[in-house]
Amino acid sequence: MNIFKKKETLSQNITFMAIMAALNVIFVLLSEFIPFLLFILVFLLPLSCTLVILLCNKKYFPIFFFSTIGLCFIVVAWNISDTIFFIIPSLITGLVFGLMIEKKLPIAFSIIAATATQFCLTYLFFTFSISIRSFVMKMFVIVERFF
């Protein structure tokens, strides 16, 4: 059985996406216990997402995307920040890279665009995190005044 060929049937698509989602979840779980693996995840997660884009039907990609995020939230519920800061940007980066490879754009352009996507998403989520923390701290101050 050739794993790296285009999936044609529904069962082939779902099986391959389930294997890739399971690998993502395993790597995320391992990275919780071996912190250095978190930096390796930045490279491995977009690769699995790129393989799903290249080998599976596009209409099934949202199933893979949301199931991977949901499983990662469940598996590492004690550390949601890893899912928000590493998993979601890596999946979107893999989507961008896979679509650019599929459109047969130059590889240098694809790498630069995927890197820019990763940078922008990381910055966006980090900024969002700071604003949420600031809002929560202001709410604590307001509530503290009443009690």
**Average pLDDT estimate for 103-131:** 86
Give pLDDT tens digits for 22-42: 998 898 888 888 878 877 777
pTM of the complete model: 0.80
Tell me how far apart the alpha carbons of residues 146 and 36 are, in angstroms, rounded to a whole number: 44
**53: Cβ–Cβ under 8 A, 6 or more apart, which residues?**
61, 94, 95, 98, 99, 101, 102
Report CA torsion sign: 100, 101, 104, 107: positive
Reported confidence tier of residue 1, pLDDT bands at 50, 70, 90:
low
